[in-house]
Structure 1
């Protein structure tokens, strides 16, 4: 038990520090390059290697590669050492080839992920140049991912959790240097020099190199010695492919949706400066933060317990585990989603209105975040529902559900893009996302309920209703606070936004806890009891 607690503590600490440093990295990036053409160019180039990695490796890493390594460790005479070396060799060679091909094909990739960025234009050329500096990180990121998988199978969690922190710190230092070198012209795509572009692109890749280096050093410290093995016949690629085909299908579907998103947002950015890929990316990262901190932690604990219950045929425990997880996550996500819808600009102005990013640009990021607030609860429930299928070992149904949700999202994105003016196009993308995941959660709920013979929908629905009623006073307080600050002080400046956040957000959450406690919502009572107990000590 102590070993598990220690591993959990290491993972929790590493995840939190990683997200905090990643958030600081995003803030410094916005200050350095802004949300206009230069920001769009960087974010488009930066998105491509991650999309390729999702398709080639990361989509099957946790669901296929880790189990395959564990099997080799258990079955092979050498404890899986040769298999791990074959896998590392294969990943290194394959991703080096992919990285070289991607660098050569950078113009084609940029054209694929954007709309109306004419070859020969300054924006297109800067994006291509950035991509050619950033795409080599494919090889290092992939090798680092395999190294992390090998470490996890040996119960070594510290390095995989803390390596991204090193990446973030390296990139933060590079961005600060870029600000010093480029100054106010760093966000002007017409004035930025090729040397400054190289600093930005190579610095981003240097972060991934540092991350991979940390993981490789950690491997050496546990006695892993890398020996190149090219006998790929023994790499069990066929078994790996059969196990991961549906996971790969899910990744392909989601990446097609992401490709449409970047195309539509890039077109919006061309029509109205500062309303393109950058505000979409920055708002989406903020939207994902509550789920990343709360939702992922609950899901990580929920899935093994549900899987064991399924294995033993105890469907009542599956229903109970799912219901308690939904209520626990929603007890936090419900008030946070309402606060995002009200306080969006008040959150983004203090974070992003620095350097070359203006207050107006930061306010627009906040407007997009407000729309994303609608998606927080349905997105979280959707992710929980997928784990019901995974607990049964079913990777096929999530592909169908994901494909249907992505199709609805794509249809709505195109529809809203046609109906809305360009300045509201990115907000339309966020709204399409919210509607699609609401519909997707509904469909996944029906299928999951059939699988486990009911999910306790009435009980969960009543709990959610009580949570929303408890959170309404918080939303009203936050709304009144924003109105008062704008009327009295004349707009959302840095200081005014902090006041709105402190009163509307800080006091608002305390109000929610108090009202929910009086309404006897068990999950909130547990949180209040835990806090009171710690204060009492």
Structure 2
């Protein structure tokens, strides 16, 4: 999701969320489930701890990676936007051309294979097929780099187009290693080895951080500025893009030693006749359709964002483009990734079981609870991002002038207002997944993509170029609202004619009111801290801590006064664990 946020190679938790129109796709590694028996409780708990630890460390390093990348290439400007287009391209291509097949078809087959005799031989054939498919597609798409750059980027600037194409030749080969990482990781998961898959992105981030840091030390610091769109040497391109690609290569290769430890002895075997893969083709087909629809929206956003900085004839580093969009999206995704995903994942197992058993009332209740509990968190997260957009962006863009921070912060605000709707849409997606109905989401995805495309193009026609990316972000937020409404209407027929809408709307209204009160208190506190506190990064950190604390306390108090019972459902597990630790 994009790089994007989280950084390329960081495993995602939400299958399908990256297919939302207007969003760059990121590698989606699936639900990370393997065959488990009742006697594996200790192993599962150990695996869960390893996975959680790997995810947390990877995300922290991902933030550091983003900070170093901004220092090396900038947040705005032609070079930053060229690198943004090229480096996210393998993510998009992997999910669009291979991700649906690998996750919807090959991965389930790997899990099933190890539950029967001759499983390793069958897995060998699956891996051989997957590697061959990835290699062929990667070669073809690398050769087609100029065409792909033309699709994702407005080629108004010849020098920027040429630089993006050069970067793409170095970055698109990441596609093969993204796929290899997904395949090998799922084989390890199927064998009960969960840690390596989740910790491998840490290696990617470390390699990237080292490479980007070296680029900054050797290229940016001596010159005192980030290179423009012209004058790049082969060594500079190799150091910047090679570091990004080498990180993905290491992320995949680091899994190889763990295969032998897990008892996997891979041999090249060709042939899948009688494998049963054809029966899974329908799932892969509709997965591909949904991904493709989402990308139509993102292609328009990418092209408009790419054109914005140079729209007035002279390229400006104070106008948000593709790189600024990516940074804003990473900030936007932080609360969703850390909390909303965890809540949705916790509900998904029960939701799937109820859907399988035909328990319509149970599915409806799970959806209602999920949307209401997610609203409790996303409302205050959205308010926090709106109030703290500038100090949060400053923490990532330490060396950027205030004009650049303002440009990115405006995009963050435009995205943040759609965070509650994004959470609700994510819960609706879970119901479609529970019913294995990828086809049913397609009409909703078409409507969402239409909103993103129309809104982005309308913004380009009516707004100054400095606000084009903000217009695209607003369109995304509107698309989440529309997607949620349409999905609920479609699901109502499947869920007995109702979706507990009154209860859900009441909770959203109360949490929104509480978030507005907290936002007002937070804004007032921000003005005080800005006036009395230090400037720069220390001031930004202080503002985030103090204002975030004030907003959190005010929000909790307002929720209590408004009798929002879902707060107990959100905090209940944490409070129960704390009480348990206090007991003698």
Same fold by TM-score, threshold 0.5 exceeded?
Answer: yes
Which residue of 2 is the match for residue 101 of structure 1?
Answer: 140
d(CA) in 2 for partners of 1:349 and 1:428? Answer: 22
> Cα deviations across residues 129-179 of structure 1 (Å, max 9, x unaligned)?
211111112111111111112222223221111111111111011111111
Moved >4 Å (runs of 4+): 234-237, 489-492, 526-529
**Residue of structure 1 in register with 2:516 after alignment:** 472
Q: Is the 8 A contact 2:138 2:175 kept in 1?
A: yes
Distance 1:63 1:327 in 2: 30
Give 1:523's aligned residue.
Answer: 566
3-state secondary structure, aligned to 2:104: helix
Give 1:380 shift: 1.1
Aligned to 1:21: 61
> Cα offset for 1:237?
4.2
Q: Distance in 2 between matches of 1:503 and 1:232?
A: 59
TM-score scaled by length of structure 2: 0.86
Q: Where does structure 1 lack aligned partners over 5 or more consecutive residues?
A: none
Q: Which residue of 2 aligns with 1:306?
A: 351
Residue 456 of structure 1 corresponds to: 500
Q: Which moved more, 1:21-30 or 1:297-306?
A: 297-306
Check 1:192–1:376 CA distance in 2 against 1; reply closer, same or farther (3 A cut): same
Count of paired positions: 530
Q: Distance in 1 between matches of 2:436 and 2:569?
A: 32
Please state if 1:291 is matched with 2:332: no
Q: List per-residue Cα deviations over 1:337-358 (Å, max 9, x = no partner).
A: 011122211211122132xx32
Question: Does residue 371 in structure 1 map to residue 414 in structure 2?
Answer: yes
1:257 to 2:297 alignment: yes
Residue 196 in structure 1 maps to residue 236 in structure 2: yes
How much does 1:465 deviate?
Answer: 1.6
| Alignment partner of 1:426 is 2:469 | yes
SS at match of 1:230: coil
Match of 2:124 in 1: 85
Q: Partner residue of 1:115?
A: 154
Moved more, 493-502 or 167-176: 493-502
Deviation of 1:393 after TM superposition, in Å, equals 2.0
For the Cα contact (< 8 Å) 1:349–1:492, is it kept in 2? no
TM superposition shift of 1:528: 5.4
Aligned-residue offset at 1:531: 4.7
Give secondary structure in 1 for the equivalent of 2:118.
coil
Q: Using a 3 Å threshold, how does the CA distance of structure 1 residues 19 and 324 change in structure 2: closer, same or farther? A: same
Find the aligned partners of 1:223 and 1:7 in 2 and give their Cα distance. Answer: 17
Determine the structure 2 residue equivalent to 1:68: 109
Partner of 1:390: 433
Change (3 A) 1:292 1:191: same
Q: Does 1:50 align with 2:91?
A: yes
Structure 2: tracts of 5 or more residues without a match: 1-40
Q: Alpha-carbon deviations, 1:80-134, whole Å to 9, x = none?
A: x12211221122222222222222221111111111344xx33222212211111
| Secondary structure of 1:233 counterpart | coil
Question: How far, CA to CA, are the matches of 1:85 and 1:477 in structure 2?
Answer: 60
User: Could you tell me whether the CA contact under 8 Å between 1:148 and 1:160 is conserved in 2?
Assistant: yes
Structure 1 residues 5-50: Cα deviation after superposition (integer angstroms, max 9, x where no partner): 3333222222222211111111110111102111111101011111
Equivalent position SS for 1:386: helix
Q: Distance in 1 between matches of 2:187 and 2:473?
A: 37
**Between 60-69 and 414-423, the greater mean CA deviation after superposition:** 60-69
Q: Secondary structure at the match of 2:417?
A: helix
Compared CA separation, residues 503 and 490, structure 1 to 2 (3 A): closer
The offset of 1:384, in angstroms, is 0.8
Using the TM superposition, give the Cα deviation of residue 492 of structure 1 relative to its aligned residue in structure 2, in angstroms.
6.8
- Aligned counterparts of 1:97 and 1:148: Cα–Cα separation in 2: 21
| Number of the residue aligned with 1:320 | 365
Deviates more, 1:45-54 or 1:217-226: 217-226
TM-score normalised to structure 1 length: 0.93
Distance 2:405 2:258 in 1: 40
How far has the Cα of 1:206 moved from its partner? 0.7
- The whole-number CA distance in structure 2 between the counterparts of 1:97 and 1:254 is 24
Q: 1:487-506 counterparts in 2 under 5 A?
A: 488=531, 493-506=536-549
C-alpha distance in 2 between matches for 1:442 and 1:243: 25
CA distance in 1, matches of 2:140, 2:438: 31
- Asked if the contact 2:375–2:507 (Cα under 8 Å) also holds between the matched residues in 1, the reply is no
- Give distance in 2, aligned partners of 1:502 and 1:55: 39
Is this contact kept in 2: 1:489–1:496, CA < 8 A? no
Per the alignment, do residues 235 and 275 of structure 1 end up closer, same or farther by CA in structure 2, a change over 3 Å counting? same
Mapped partners of 1:156, 1:515: distance in 2: 45
Q: Tell me what 1:135 maps to.
A: 172
- Cα drift, residue 518 of structure 1: 4.0
| Secondary structure, aligned partner of 2:114 | helix
Query: Aligned equivalents of 1:345 and 1:412: distance in 2?
Result: 25
User: In structure 2, what is the Cα distance between the partners aligned to 1:433 and 1:377?
Assistant: 12
Which of 165, 172, 176 is matched with 2:213 structurally? 176
Contact 1:342 1:478 in 2 (8 A): yes
Q: Is the 8 A contact 2:184 2:255 kept in 1?
A: yes
Structure-2 separation of matches of 1:96 and 1:310: 38
1:207–1:533 CA distance, 2 compared to 1 (3 A) = closer
Contact 2:418 2:478 in 1 (8 A): yes
Q: Distance in 1 between matches of 2:359 and 2:284?
A: 27
For 1:518 and 1:305, locate their aligned partners in 2 and report how far apart those are by CA, in whole Å.
31
In structure 1, the residue corresponding to 2:436 is in which secondary structure?
coil
Q: Distance in 1 between matches of 2:89 and 2:98?
A: 14
